[in-house]
């Protein structure tokens, strides 16, 4: 396991702030002699350090998928599988799969298929809770489309939630990407949407807990 680069500054600043709080807690204990309060505040500081560090963790995982497999791009829970009208890029009907990431999940995001990035766009927006039906269209988000070598395209969208305040992505149009390579990161609670062709074979169901680089979403049919 390693710490994601997006977390270095936040972890450092958090440690400085929490160290200051703990120093103040120690002097408060010397002044009041309230051992119970000192222990309670100390446990709170330790818990905060743990939560912040674990949020930016990146576990070591291997990625072994067949050529047409669609890999899960994020850790989380499947909250939506439905047919929708995609209005930004395809402008037709697609299967939408939405994965909700809680603050306790790994928040690095990975390419679900290999291919060429054909579309990248960042959208400023609102910060509705990530499971809100309009979060896909109204929240801050990024939209990316990868074209597989078999000619099919997959759209995946990073969506900020009520707590998430920064979406990071590291690819640009015409980049060649591989399944399992990291393409981005979302800070603090969020959602990933996949928009797939209607004939895609789906291997997961609503309520499933999925993991990036380990769970197979489905299989992309060749044209």
**From CA 132, how far away is CA 125, in angstroms rounded?**
14
What pTM was estimated for this model as a whole? 0.86
The CATH number of residue 125's host domain is 2.70.70.10
Residue 185 covered by a domain: yes
Q: Are residues 106 and 155 in the same domain?
A: yes
Residue-wise pLDDT tens digits, 11-59: 999 999 999 999 999 999 898 989 999 999 999 999 999 988 988 899 9
| Residue pLDDT, tens place only, 85-96 | 999 999 999 999
Mean pLDDT of the residues in the chain: 89
Query: Would you state the pLDDT for residue 138?
Result: 65
User: Quick one: 164 and 189 in the same domain?
Assistant: yes
* Catalytic status, residue 114: no
Are 179 and 127 in a shared domain?
yes
Is residue 80 domain-resident? Answer: yes
Range of the domain at 112: 69-219
pLDDT 10s digits, 157-204? 998 865 555 788 999 999 999 999 999 998 766 889 999 999 999 999
Same domain, 196 and 103: yes
Tokens linked to 110: 């990975």
Q: pLDDT > 70: what percent of the chain? A: 91
Claim to verify: residue 54 and residue 75 sit in the same structural domain: no
Q: Does 64 fall in a domain?
A: no
Catalytic residue among 114, 136, 142, 190: 190
For the chain, give the DSSP string.
-EE-GGGHHHHHHHHHHHHHHHHHHHHHHHHH--HHHHHHHHHHHHHHHHHHHHHTEE--------TTEEE--SSEEEEEEEEEEETTTT-EEEEEEEEEE-TTS--EEE-SS-EEEEEEEEE--B---TTSTTHHHHBSEEEEEEE-TTS-EEEEEEEE-SS--EEEE---TT-EE-TT-EEEEEESSEEEEEEE-TT-EE---TT-EE-TTT-EEEEPPP-
- Verify that 53 and 151 share a domain, yes or no: no
Residue 114 lies in a domain: yes
Residue at 63 is within a domain: no
The total number of structural domains that make up the chain = 2
Give the contacts of 17 (CB within 8 A, at least 6 positions apart). none
Q: Is residue 100 part of a domain?
A: yes
- Residue 126: pLDDT band by 50, 70, 90 thresholds? low
Q: Verify that 106 and 196 share a domain, yes or no.
A: yes
Same domain, 104 and 156: yes
Co-location of 209 and 127 in the same domain:
yes
């Amino acid at each position: 396991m390693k710490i994601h680069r997006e977390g270095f500054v936040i972890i450092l600043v958090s440690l400085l702030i929490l160290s200051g709080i703990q120093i103040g807690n120690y002097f408060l204990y010397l002044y009041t002699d309230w051992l119970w309060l000192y222990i309670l505040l100390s446990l709170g500081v330790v818990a905060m350090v743990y939560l912040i560090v674990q949020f930016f963790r990146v576990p070591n995982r291997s990625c072994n998928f067949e050529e047409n497999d669609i890999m899960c791009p994020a850790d989380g829970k499947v909250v939506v599988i439905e047919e929708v009208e995609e209005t930004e890029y395809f402008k037709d009907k697609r299967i939408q799969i939405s994965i909700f990431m809680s603050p306790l999940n790994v928040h690095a995001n990975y390419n679900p298929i290999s291919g060429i990035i054909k579309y990248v766009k960042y959208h400023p927006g609102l910060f509705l809770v990530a499971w809100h039906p309009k979060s896909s269209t109204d929240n801050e988000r990024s939209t990316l489309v990868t074209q597989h070598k078999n000619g099919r395209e997959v759209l995946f969208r990073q969506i900020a939630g009520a707590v998430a305040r920064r979406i990071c992505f590291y690819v640009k149009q015409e980049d060649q990407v591989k399944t399992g390579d990291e393409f981005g990161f979302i800070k603090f609670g969020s959602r990933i949407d996949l928009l797939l062709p209607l004939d895609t074979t789906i291997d997961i169901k609503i309520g499933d807990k999925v993991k990036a680089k380990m769970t197979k979403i489905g299989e992309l049919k060749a044209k």
